[in-house]
Amino acid sequence: MATEAFGLPFEVGASSAWLIWILPFIAALIMPGVGKISKRSTGYVAVGFALMSALSAASLLPMALEAHEVHDQISWISSIGLKAGVLADPLSIIMANVVAWISFLIMIYSTGYMKGDKSITRFWFWMMFFIGSMQLIVLSDNLLQVFFGWEGVGLASYALISFWYRDKKKDHVGTEGRTVLGLLDYYSPTHAGMKAFIMTKVGDVMMIAGMLLIFLFAGTFGFRELMHDTAWATSMSAQGLLIPAFVLLFGGAIGKSAQFPLNEWLLEAMTGPTAVSALIHAATMVKAGVFLVMRLAPLVFALSAAGILADQFFEIILLVGAATALLLGLQGMVNSEIKKVLAYSTGSQIGYMMMVLGIAGLSEQFVNGFTAGFFHLISHAMFKASLFMAAGSLLHVVGSRFMTDMGGLRKHMKKTYAFMWAAGLGLMGAPFITTGFWSKDSIFGAVYTSGHEWAMPIFAIAVLTAIITAFYTTRMLGLVFYGSKSKHIQKMEEEGHHIHEAPLSMWVPYGILAVLTIAIGIIGLSFEVGLHELFTEYLEESFGIHSIHHEIENSILPGFLDGINPVALAASLAAFGIGTGLGYVFYIGRWVDPVKFVNSNIFFYAIHKVILNRFYLNAIIYWCFVVAPLWLSRGVFRYFEKTAIDYGMNSGLQKAVGWSAKVVQGTQTGVAQSYLFVFGAGLLFVVLILLI
């Protein structure tokens, strides 16, 4: 039905949907070969394939805007009824475009950022693998295939976070020598990669459990098949397993999207090259969890129309999201490493998305929260990718990850300065001109109008987080670009290093995204309305979720703000004003010294310390799941393995096998006569068994 609308044969839509995720994998596969021939051309090949993948994604856009979908399946393992397929509906097509185009820009950026790295082929291999896996998640039509992409993303992130596996000092994160609860707060790339892998794996295990639980009842992994016949949900619900299964699936999203309490890997993930961080935070990995929830949420919500209530599922999402938004936002205020501030900010913003998806399921108007979450995902992808790449430029130029080693850079790096401000305004939610403002405002609106009993406390947390966000963004910009030059920079200049702008291939990508943040921001409201209409139609057609059309009340707001909730608007404006104002006082105007301010009384000092030590969550996790098991394992090794296993089983079993092998070999005499005898005896034996 889909492509007929604009006169293309059906296969075109389907094949470009396949190509979107297959092309990056092809690029990854040929990368070692390309690297053998010419190391320098690997970057061009990667950028080329990323572009082709992005173009395939773009070719599907017209269809998405018509709210049509393509669902193409091939038989995968027919004997157990498994099918592989792509599901290109408006949700996945727009998501695929966000992923593809932002990855494409990051790829261009990487050609500059990674120039001259010895292991460049490995870098491109994993980057393309990363993108391919993410697109596999986005376009899959069933949970099993999503899980393949899910694990691919996990593997690629592991390989890329520990990309600089030689663990040089400059590639670490954290402050050397600093301890929290007796544990070092200083991580090497290899440690960080492992940490990310293991922590997200906790979520993955939950996810596969939830997946199989659903499969047990439904007999299918397919999203559309699950929607088509909901008898499975009725029987699961009758046994009280429906909510646990979906919560387990959400567990996967918690791990991958770094939500509380599995958020701690995200900070150490900063050991990877900055291009990787940009990819993880803007396009792949952490967005995968949000996307999974967006795939599942309409399904769960639609079940409630069939009388199967799943409110607890949405409540859990809501609480996890809100907690993450606030806790990680707070930590972003105090950290001194630029990439870590951005990482905390990502976790916090993802928390926003989760929160509003949770509220969507609890309100009458599902589409409001759903649109708000997705809109924020898009705008966050743009400005966060831009900010990360810009931060990469700073690291590249200054050679330090600490903001305290920067300062006063606005005269030397004018372009980066301007673009970071533009993208930063997006993150702060600068009124009326940035995408961040409109998406945040729509989140506020969705929460405020949801009518749920928790709406007001959640709204308060959302506004508080917005204030915090504006504050730490201003702080970051202030520390980096304003004030006087740090000692580190002065020393560099004395040594003859010239502070200069980043090369063209680096500033153009983040420039484009920064400009887009403003450009789409200016038409942000109509963008949002369009998205809202599209999703209303999509949810209606694919899930049968009806939206109630409210007549727009006579608002006190001027005409161009039609449809905006005045309370939400006021809250956004106030949050931006307060947060930015405080930030200005401390870090741009520098009227008050923040260090003195914090140390001025014991109360501020204590709070600062608790936040700086990550609410002790990381240390507690390490004590419980790393240090304690290590002690335990040493004990088991000494008192059980060395005795029972080694002396008993290992040598015993080995001897038994060795002995039986000797016996069998003993029959193999090499003498033909004895073989013939055995043969004859065997014939007799067979006839005897047959006669019995």
Partner 1 sequence: MLEISSTPLVIIAILGTVGILLPIISIARKEKGSNSFYAIIAFAALIVSIGYVAYQFVNGNILPSALFSEDVLVDDAFGGFFAIAMLIVAIFTTVGSFNYMRKKNYPAVYYSLILLSTIGMVLVAYSTDLVMLFVAWELMSIPTYVLAGFMKKNPSSNEAALKYFLFGALSSAIIVYGISLSYGLTGSTNIGEVIQGYATLDPSLLPLALLSVGMFIAGFGFKMGLVPFHQWLPDTYEGAPPTITTLLAAGTKKAGFAATIRIVVLGMVVLNLDWTLALGVIAVMTMTIGNIAAIMQKNLARMLAYSSIAHAGYILIGLAISPYSSLGLQGSLYHILNHAVMKGMAFIAVTGIITTLAVTHIDKLKGLGRRMPITALGLIISLFALAGVPPLAGFWSKLVLFGGALDAGTTIWWAPWLAIAGVLNSALSLAYYGWITRKMYFEGENEKRVSEPKSIIAIMIFSIVFLVGFGIYPDPIIKFVEFATPTFSLGVMP
Which residue in the set 239, 554, 601, 667 belongs to the binding site for partner 1 (CB under 8 A)?
A: 667
Q: Closer to partner 1 at the Cβ: 589 or 658?
A: 658
Cβ-in-10-Å burial (0-12, 13-18, 19+) of 659 comes to exposed
Q: How far is the CB of 672 from partner 1 (least distance, A)?
A: 6
Chain position carrying tokens 């390309």? 34
Residues 554-583 that bind partner 1 (CB under 8 A): none
Angle, helices 311-332 vs 286-305, to 10°: value is: 150
Q: Closer to partner 1 at the Cβ: 21 or 313?
A: 21
DSSP 8-state secondary structure symbol assigned to residue 431: T
Q: Answer yes or no: are the C-beta atoms of 473 and 427 closer than 8 Å.
A: yes
Q: CA 105 to CA 213: how far, in whole Å?
A: 39
Please tell me whether residue 658 binds partner 1 under the rule CB under 8 A. Answer: yes
Q: CA 156 to CA 286: how far, in whole Å?
A: 13
449: helix, strand or coil: coil
Q: Closer to partner 1 at the Cβ: 21 or 101?
A: 21
Q: Which stretch binds partner 1 (CB under 8 A): 412-420, 422-430, 555-563, 675-683?
A: 675-683
Q: CA 530 to CA 392: how far, in whole Å?
A: 34
Q: Which stretch binds partner 1 (CB under 8 A): 263-271, 538-546, 641-649, 681-689?
A: 681-689
Please tell me whether residue 657 binds partner 1 under the rule CB under 8 A. Answer: yes
Q: Answer yes or no: are the C-beta atoms of 538 and 87 closer than 8 Å.
A: no
354: tokens are: 């989760």
Q: How far is the CB of 81 from partner 1 (least distance, A)?
A: 11
Please tell me whether residue 649 binds partner 1 under the rule CB under 8 A. Answer: no
Q: Which stretch binds partner 1 (CB under 8 A): 253-261, 385-393, 642-650, 656-664?
A: 656-664
Q: How far is the CB of 78 from partner 1 (least distance, A)?
A: 5
Q: How far is the CB of 683 from partner 1 (least distance, A)?
A: 4
Please tell me whether residue 79 binds partner 1 under the rule CB under 8 A. Answer: yes
Residues 48-67 that bind partner 1 (CB under 8 A): none
Q: Answer yes or no: are the C-beta atoms of 107 and 50 closer than 8 Å.
A: yes
Please tell me whether residue 685 binds partner 1 under the rule CB under 8 A. Answer: yes
The per-type count for the chain, helices as H runs and strands as E runs, is 29, 4
Q: How far is the CB of 687 from partner 1 (least distance, A)?
A: 4
Which residue in the set 38, 41, 75, 312 belongs to the binding site for partner 1 (CB under 8 A)?
A: 75
Which residue in the set 526, 643, 650, 660 belongs to the binding site for partner 1 (CB under 8 A)?
A: 660
CB atoms under 10 Å from CB of 644, counted, come to 11
CB atoms under 10 Å from CB of 673, counted, come to 8
Please tell me whether residue 686 binds partner 1 under the rule CB under 8 A. Answer: yes
Please tell me whether residue 675 binds partner 1 under the rule CB under 8 A. Answer: yes
Which residue in the set 37, 78, 169, 551 belongs to the binding site for partner 1 (CB under 8 A)?
A: 78
634: tokens are: 């040493």
Q: CA 278 to CA 107: how far, in whole Å?
A: 10
Q: How far is the CB of 201 from partner 1 (least distance, A)?
A: 19
Which residue in the set 65, 181, 567, 661 belongs to the binding site for partner 1 (CB under 8 A)?
A: 661
Please tell me whether residue 682 binds partner 1 under the rule CB under 8 A. Answer: yes
Cα angle vertex 324, ends 208, 298, to 5°? 50
CB atoms under 10 Å from CB of 157, counted, come to 27
Please tell me whether residue 602 binds partner 1 under the rule CB under 8 A. Answer: no
Q: CA 568 to CA 377: how far, in whole Å?
A: 19
Residues 196-255 that bind partner 1 (CB under 8 A): none
Q: Which stretch binds partner 1 (CB under 8 A): 498-506, 553-561, 606-614, 677-685?
A: 677-685
Q: What are φ and ψ of residue 175, in 5° steps?
A: -100, 130
Q: Closer to partner 1 at the Cβ: 526 or 669?
A: 669
Q: Closer to partner 1 at the Cβ: 79 or 554?
A: 79
Please tell me whether residue 681 binds partner 1 under the rule CB under 8 A. Answer: yes
Which residue in the set 1, 556, 602, 672 belongs to the binding site for partner 1 (CB under 8 A)?
A: 672
Residue 57, Cα to own-chain centre: how many angstroms?
Answer: 20
Q: How far is the CB of 194 from partner 1 (least distance, A)?
A: 21
Q: Which stretch binds partner 1 (CB under 8 A): 50-58, 190-198, 498-506, 662-670?
A: 662-670
Run of H or E including 185: strand 183-187
Which residue in the set 116, 177, 240, 670 belongs to the binding site for partner 1 (CB under 8 A)?
A: 670
Q: CA 266 to CA 409: how far, in whole Å?
A: 28
Run of H or E including 175: strand 173-180
Q: How far is the CB of 76 from partner 1 (least distance, A)?
A: 6
CB atoms under 10 Å from CB of 10, counted, come to 13
Q: Closer to partner 1 at the Cβ: 7 or 670?
A: 670
Contacts of 661 (CB under 8 A, 6+ apart): none
Please tell me whether residue 668 binds partner 1 under the rule CB under 8 A. Answer: yes
Q: How far is the CB of 491 from partner 1 (least distance, A)?
A: 43
Q: How far is the CB of 653 from partner 1 (least distance, A)?
A: 11
Which residue in the set 55, 66, 71, 76 belongs to the binding site for partner 1 (CB under 8 A)?
A: 76
Cα angle vertex 312, ends 307, 317, to 5°? 125
Q: How far is the CB of 170 from partner 1 (least distance, A)?
A: 30
Q: CA 298 to CA 295: how far, in whole Å?
A: 7
Q: CA 324 to CA 255: how far, in whole Å?
A: 12
Q: Which stretch binds partner 1 (CB under 8 A): 450-458, 474-482, 583-591, 657-665?
A: 657-665
Q: Closer to partner 1 at the Cβ: 548 or 672?
A: 672
Listing DSSP states for 57-92 in one string gives: HHHTHHHHHTT--EEEEEEEEGGGTEEEEEEE-HHH
Q: Closer to partner 1 at the Cβ: 231 or 683?
A: 683
Q: Closer to partner 1 at the Cβ: 72 or 89?
A: 72
At 502, the amino acid letter reads A
Q: Count of residues binding partner 1 (CB under 8 A)? A: 29
β-strands 70-77, 173-180 pairing: unpaired
Binding residues for partner 1, rule: CB under 8 A, are 75-79, 657-658, 660-662, 664-665, 667-668, 670, 672, 675-676, 678-679, 681-683, 685-687, 689-691
